[in-house]
Amino acid sequence: MDIVRNPDGTLVVPVQEERHRATDDSAETSGGDADKPATQPGETPTTRLLHPGEGGYDEALAEWDLQQNPEREPVVSTAGGRREAMAIVHAVGSSSDHSAAAAVKSLQDPAAAGEALRHVLVGGVPSVEDFAAEVAEAEGGDPLAAHQMTKVIGEVLAELDR
């Protein structure tokens, strides 16, 4: 099952079913047959909804981005791409309507900006926090919280992949 990104930035991720090992004690105390599984299929959820800022969200977003183009080469961040990436996330993050579409159209090198943003995501939460501080220093204003920055990055990447 693939990861699904919702318009609000949440991600629906598959949950791997835990493997339960049947023991002689569990079969005796449960009163059930040793041939039956300890839990019935379908009792545990098969997906989980992750919100920006929630544990595992950054990793899931990076995985979702990779799903969009599995043949993509490993991400490489260039100085020019990073500058454009900082400008676009600042524009989207500080905008009242959060329109990534208009901001993406203004990019001179959308591919380089996308690669820079993917590079940030691959580094996880510490990388996102450092990037938010770097954006605030370069563009002005206060740094976005990591979960807000991750959401903005996801919006921009989704727009770039259209």
What are the boundaries of each domain within the chain?
Answer: 4-50, 57-62+74-160
> Smallest Cα–Cα separation from 115: which of 153, 63, 77?
77
How confident is the prediction for the chain on average, in pLDDT?
80
In order of 8, 87, 95, the CA distances from 116 in angstroms are 23, 12, 21
**pLDDT over 70 percentage in the chain:** 80
Each residue's pLDDT tens digit, 124-137 = 888 899 999 999 99
Q: Helix 110-122 and helix 57-68: axis angle, to 10°?
A: 140
Predicted confidence at residue 75, as pLDDT, reads 66
106 vs 25, more confident: 106
Q: How confident is the model at residue 43 (pLDDT cuts 50, 70, 90)?
A: low
Residue 142 gets which letter from DSSP? P
Residue-wise pLDDT for 99-127, tens only, equals: 788 888 888 888 899 989 988 988 888 88
Whether the full predicted model's pTM is greater than 0.75, yes or no, is no
Return the DSSP state at 7: T
Retrieve residue 101's tokens.
């579409």
